[in-house]
Amino acid sequence: MYISKLVAPIVTLFLYLGEGNVVEALTGSQFAAIPFDYIIVGGGTAGLVVANRLSANPHIKVGVLEAGADGLDDDIIYTPGKVGWAVGTSYDWNFETIEQPVLGDRKLGWSRGKALGGSSAINFYVWMRGNKIDYDSWSALGNPGWDYNSMVPYFKKPETFHEPSPSDATNFKLDFVTSDHGSTGPINTCYSNTWNGAHQYWHDTLINLGVPRRDTFGGSNWGVWTGLTSVNPVNRTRSYSASEYWRPYSYRTNFHVLTNAMVKKVNIQSVGGHQTATGVEFTWGGNTYTANAAAEVVLSAGTVQSPQLLELSGVGNPTYLNAAGITVKVNSPHVGENLQDRIMTVMMYEIDDEISNQDPLKDPVELADALDEYHTNHTGLLTVTPTDFAYVPLRYYLNSTYVNTLRGMVTGTDDRTLHIKSKLNHTKDLGSMEFVFDPNLLFPLITPEPGKKYGTVFQMLQYPFSTGNIHIGPAVGGISPTADDHPLIDPKYYEGDGIVDLYTMVEAQKFADSIARENPLNANVIGQRVFPPEPAPGTETDWEQFVKDFTISDWHPIGTCAMSGLGINKGVVDEKLRVHGVKKLRVVDASIIPVQISSHLQGTVYAIAEKGADMILEDFQCKRRRRRGRRCRHH
Ligand SMILES: Cc1cc2nc3c(=O)[nH]c(=O)nc-3n(C[C@H](O)[C@H](O)[C@H](O)COP(=O)(O)OP(=O)(O)OC[C@H]3O[C@@H](n4cnc5c(N)ncnc54)[C@H](O)[C@@H]3O)c2cc1C
Ligand SMILES: *[C@@H]1O[C@H](CO)[C@@H](O)[C@H](O)[C@H]1NC(C)=O
Ligand SMILES: *[C@@H]1O[C@H](CO)[C@@H](O)[C@H](O)[C@H]1NC(C)=O
Ligand SMILES: *[C@@H]1O[C@H](CO)[C@@H](O)[C@H](O)[C@H]1NC(C)=O
Ligand SMILES: *[C@@H]1O[C@H](CO)[C@@H](O)[C@H](O)[C@H]1NC(C)=O
């Protein structure tokens, strides 16, 4: 089953350079000829942040290699109301997991952005932050400097928060504390200006289930709230790494971005007895090139491809490298391990005709009207994204006896598992499960009946025990895999201690259903359940079977280049994001996150990239001072 929108949009593939943009059209050979200080692999969410901050110093030459195309002027990327439309297109790597035994051997679709901006170009616009203890766990796992309080400046640095008007704040139930947000960063965040028809009932429905309205940016994110979005409020377009960290700075003569360029491996050589990154090998327009980096190579290829590229470059577990016919340069046992994905199920209900806001976009006449309104007034259907969220603590859907039963099932005793286990606690005010309602049929799991409209209840587990891995495949017929071969993604959903995730999802499913049954949402919007269908009288839905049959990914994988300052036997990079065992090589992206947080990830990935850029710049300045015979405080 592959998850995409019902209507597959047609994508314009060619690279379009908007009028007046100073985008230099480099070729592969021109790029390869530049004597870079830093090469960033992957012009995605994190990669463009790092490249921007480094190239702010005119003495630093920065090159970015991005496999995808520039979609900056493509409306399926920049139009909020077309949320989800780019999933499954050429802007998506369209990965797939290997067969998952507990899920009936299903392979799950794994969407990842393949465009300038990476996943920030195709994501669902939600801007948020995890809980204080989520980041404090990162620090406790051997990473000083990554606790919540140290991270707050980096959560703010990427953001310019646009306050809503007082009347909007009242009318649309917007809870915010301005001082918890950034005010000068590149990414614009704002609330919607046009609301889906169910929004007015959402908060009261959750309040009736005992879940309070809360602001979520101060280090505690549970409660019911209205989503903030990464949208430019002036013309209601996507605000993401390509539009904010690249386009306005593309005039910089020391900031070079090459799109449609596929990195094959990092070149690693022994220099003075140390394995050292010297540059990368990449293909562009059918030819292969080498580009050199005097200072460092930074991998920002994301949770799937950063570990893949490390393995292809000879850094990883010898078992996988030998099988692939790749020479081992550094035995790094955690590369590709520690994969933690977010698990999601969706249910569908018939809803009131007037409430649905997406169907009109499928009607050419109404779409034309919506486009007119969008371009003239920057309002209307094409600005609407999902905004109705609740992060709900365990005690709302698990009784204390059962929580203890589930705790008893956890067998892992490693530090990371203990951090996850500490959150499986009946008394803790942590949003362990996310619930969302959107008055749209966002997944093609049912065949819509003519004249009927549908809404979707989402449920997403925040602190999974399920832990898998991503590795390159074995050599086939003596031929080693390359970066063009998708790596083998095995999230091991619900396997091992992950069985606790299954039982947690099953219980929460009943709470999700109770949201749809509660007023005022039920009385005003929601009719009968159609997926899974209402049970026959006197019977009950088999929720366990439902969860096994219909669990999907909600696209938040982390951990495959996990950060641990405690050494190569604990993680892949240290607390400064330097790859253990290799000089001049870092990883800066979602793959370094050692343990899941309760939040959508983009705000945190931007923060990781801002912090990573600061650490790289600090080292750069230090080396310069030392070369001039001066002292430097750092390390
Ligand atoms: C469909 C979807 C919806 C989401 N919704 C939300 C949301 O609403 N809110 C939220 O906070 N988060 C959301 N997320 C998650 C969030 O967007 C990601 O966690 C985050 O953007 C990941 O950033 P990254 O820098 O780690 O990787 P990416 O942004 O994916 O960047 C990796 C880049 O590397 C490039 N690359 C990979 N391999 C190579 C290679 N060999 N050579 C050259 N380039 C390469 C890729 O093309 C890509 O551009 C969503 C994700 C998806 C996929
Ligand atoms: C929206 O505004 C931004 C910032 O001014 C601009 O770069 C972009 O081109 C605009 N997009 C559209 C579709 O008008
Ligand atoms: C834009 O807004 C004005 C004022 O509300 C309204 O009169 C006009 O019809 C709108 N235009 C479009 C195209 O929706
Ligand atoms: C707690 O929940 C479990 C799982 O649903 C159930 O079997 C059990 O009867 C419940 N116990 C109490 C005391 O409600
Ligand atoms: C659950 O959390 C509470 C409060 O933080 C703590 O006192 C208690 O010991 C925890 N329970 C378990 C089983 O860890």
| Contacting residues for 376 by C-beta, under 8 A, at least 6 apart | none
Residue nearest to atom 4 of ligand 1 (CA): 123
Least confident of 116-120, 181-185, 362-366, 405-409: 362-366
Ligand 3 atom nearest to CA at 379: 14
Given this model, what pLDDT does residue 14 score? 27
Give the model's confidence band at 6: pLDDT under 50 very low, under 70 low, under 90 confident, else very high. very low
Taking phi first (over 0 means left), then psi (-120 to 50 degrees means alpha), and beta for anything else, what does residue 538 get? left
pLDDT tens column, 487-519? 999 999 999 999 999 999 999 999 999 999 999
Given this model, what pLDDT does residue 90 score? 98
Given this model, what pLDDT does residue 627 score? 87
Given this model, what pLDDT does residue 8 score? 28
* Closest-approaching ligand to the CA atom of 430: 5
What separation in Å is there between the alpha carbon of 520 and the centre of ligand 1?
A: 37
Given this model, what pLDDT does residue 634 score? 61
Q: How far apart are the first and last CA of the chain?
A: 50
- To the query of whether residue 334 is one of the catalytic residues in this protein, the response is no
Q: Answer yes or no: is the C-beta of 507 below 6 A from any ligand 4 atom.
A: yes
Other C-beta atoms lying within 10 Å of the C-beta of residue 567? 11
Take residue 369 and report the two structure tokens written for it: 């009207």
pLDDT tens column, 43-79? 999 999 999 999 999 999 999 999 999 999 999 999 9
| Token pair 């013309």 in the structure block, residue | 235
Q: Tell me the C-alpha distance between 147 and 165, whole Å.
A: 33
Given this model, what pLDDT does residue 3 score? 32
Beta pairing class for 187-189 and 223-226: unpaired
Give the model's confidence band at 523: pLDDT under 50 very low, under 70 low, under 90 confident, else very high. very high
**Residue 7 pLDDT exceeds 60:** no
Q: Tell me the C-alpha distance between 27 and 599, whole Å.
A: 39
Q: Tell me the C-alpha distance between 629 and 517, whole Å.
A: 71
Give the pLDDT mean for 441-451: 85
pLDDT tens column, 580-620? 999 999 999 999 999 999 999 999 999 999 999 999 999 99
Given this model, what pLDDT does residue 93 score? 98
**Residue 24 pLDDT exceeds 70:** no
Feature table: binding site: 123-126, 263, 555-556
Residue 447 host element (H or E):
none
Residue from 203, 334, 556, 580 carrying the catalytic annotation: 556
Residue nearest to atom 7 of ligand 2 (CA): 243
Ligand 3 atom nearest to CA at 375: 13
Mean pLDDT of the chain, nearest integer: 94
Q: Tell me the C-alpha distance between 634 and 154, whole Å.
A: 20
**Residue 162 pLDDT exceeds 80:** yes
Given this model, what pLDDT does residue 12 score? 26
Quote the pTM value. 0.96
Q: Answer yes or no: is the C-beta of 235 below 6 A from any ligand 2 atom.
A: yes
What separation in Å is there between the alpha carbon of 400 and the centre of ligand 4?
A: 9
The secondary structure of residue 595, as a DSSP letter, is S
Given this model, what pLDDT does residue 439 score? 92
**Residue 104 pLDDT exceeds 50:** yes
Ligand 2 atom nearest to CA at 73: 13
Take residue 528 and report the two structure tokens written for it: 């009968």
- To the query of whether residue 556 is one of the catalytic residues in this protein, the response is yes
pLDDT tens column, 227-276? 999 999 999 999 999 999 999 999 999 999 999 999 999 999 999 999 99
CATH H-level superfamily of 22-162+237-341+469-481+557-635: FAD/NAD(P)-binding domain (3.50.50.60)
pLDDT tens column, 191-209? 999 998 899 999 999 999 9
Give the pLDDT mean for 554-579: 98
Feature table: binding site for FAD: 123-126, 263, 555-556
What separation in Å is there between the alpha carbon of 507 and the centre of ligand 4?
A: 10
pLDDT tens column, 370-401? 999 999 999 999 999 999 999 999 999 999 99
Task: Measure the CA angle with vertex 584, ends 581 and 586; round to 5°.
Answer: 80
**Residue 443 pLDDT exceeds 90:** no
Given this model, what pLDDT does residue 148 score? 98
Residues composing the chain: 635
Q: Tell me the C-alpha distance between 471 and 560, whole Å.
A: 9
What separation in Å is there between the alpha carbon of 472 and the centre of ligand 4?
A: 43
Give the pLDDT mean for 326-351: 97
Residue nearest to atom 13 of ligand 3 (CA): 373
What separation in Å is there between the alpha carbon of 402 and the centre of ligand 4?
A: 6
Q: Answer yes or no: is the C-beta of 402 below 6 A from any ligand 4 atom.
A: yes
Least confident of 12-21, 49-58, 225-234, 302-311: 12-21
Of the candidates 211, 134, 630, the residue with the CA atom closest to the CA atom of residue 420 = 134
Take residue 460 and report the two structure tokens written for it: 């997403």
β-bridge mates for residue 97, sequence order: 489
Q: Tell me the C-alpha distance between 282 and 259, whole Å.
A: 11
Ligand 3 atom nearest to CA at 369: 13
Give the pLDDT mean for 280-309: 98
Given this model, what pLDDT does residue 358 score? 64
Residue nearest to atom 5 of ligand 3 (CA): 377
* Cβ 215 vs Cβ 524: under 8 Å: no
Residue nearest to atom 2 of ligand 3 (CA): 377
Looking at residue 198, its amino acid is: A
Given this model, what pLDDT does residue 635 score? 52
Ligand 1 atom nearest to CA at 303: 26
Give ligand 1 pocket residues (Cβ under 6 A).
41-47, 65-68, 87, 111-114, 118-120, 122-126, 262-263, 300-302, 305, 309, 483, 555-556, 589-590, 600-603, 605
Q: Answer yes or no: is the C-beta of 368 below 6 A from any ligand 3 atom.
A: no
Ordered by start, the domain boundaries in the chain are: 22-162+237-341+469-481+557-635
